[in-house]
Structure 1
Amino acid sequence: MLKTIHILLVEDNEGDILLTRVALENAAIDFKLSIASDGKEAIDFLSKANGFADREMPDLTLLDINLPKKNGHEVLAFMKKNESLNHIPVVMLTTSSSQNDIDMAYANNASGFITKPSDLSEFLNAVAGTVQYWIDKINHSA
């Protein structure tokens, strides 16, 4: 039996949160979604600090780059430098198509980089396909 995948979505745009949830539901993915609305909240969640002590660690993180308080690159670097977090796949999910952002994400060991398409069906397919890929990898390594 496949486990329910726990996804941490780090996103400050309510519309993109809703679209990501719809993409996962439309793909019939068995998921639990936790939301962090800024980079500091994501780090607190992952560190189990400031009210997040009882939260289970995610199996996968979808991480925007342009976030308040701490940006996605800072969150990614924090995760990959922390022994208890560095195994969690992190897919950057962002409007940025900057080569600098892409290079920096992969230099910090991002597992993938998706530029959010402006077309709704492309966005839904990109999120669902990427998450399904990681679910398959996670379930086969368990």
Structure 2
Amino acid sequence: MNRKPFTLLLVEDELADVALFQDLLADSVSEVEVVHVSNGQEALQYLKREDKHLNAIHPDLVVLDLNMPVMNGHEFLAQVKQQPALRSVPVMILSTSDRPDDIQRAYHGYASGYVVKPSSYEEFQRVVKTIEAYWNGLVRLPTIADVTARMPT
């Protein structure tokens, strides 16, 4: 049972993929709020509540593309996992890349999971439903209060 609506930060530069992801999640039974940003730099600003994201909601999960302009997914992941206040936010990679070096680099950078974007609508639908069911239904996630209370001073 969730304590609040599940918030997902979708970091994706392809608007068609954003629309598809949001449409497929809208079909989901549970309440999921999707916040979209188009690159790693904006995602980092969102998580740090900087610039136009001063009132950002702490996401329960970040779904991250790797190949983006400005700051790519690997660079974003490295930045997030270096910061104690952000380290516990789960980051799942959703990328077209099936390259072993991308997968290894993502896990070495403390990604919480790696999923290759499917090529068919039906497979994409299955992947999105599985992501939602796992992260919003099965896994126990820390609250922002838990995270901030345990941060070193």
TM value normalised by structure 1: 0.93
* 1:82 CA displacement: 1.1
1:110 aligned residue: 111
Q: Tell me the percent identity.
A: 35
2-side partners of 1:92 and 1:47: how far apart?
20
2:18 aligned residue: 17
2-side partners of 1:4 and 1:138: how far apart?
14
1:1-142 → structure 2 map (5 Å cutoff): 1-2=1-2, 3-136=4-137, 137-138=139-140
Q: Secondary structure at the match of 1:75?
A: helix
Q: Which has the larger radius of gyration?
A: 2
TM value normalised by structure 2: 0.87
Q: Is the 8 A contact 1:39 1:75 kept in 2?
A: yes
The C-alpha deviation readout for 1:58-79, integer Å capped at 9, x for no partner, is 0100000001100001111111
RMSD: 1.4
Aligned length: 141
Q: Secondary structure at the match of 2:51?
A: coil
Unaligned runs of 5+ in 1: none
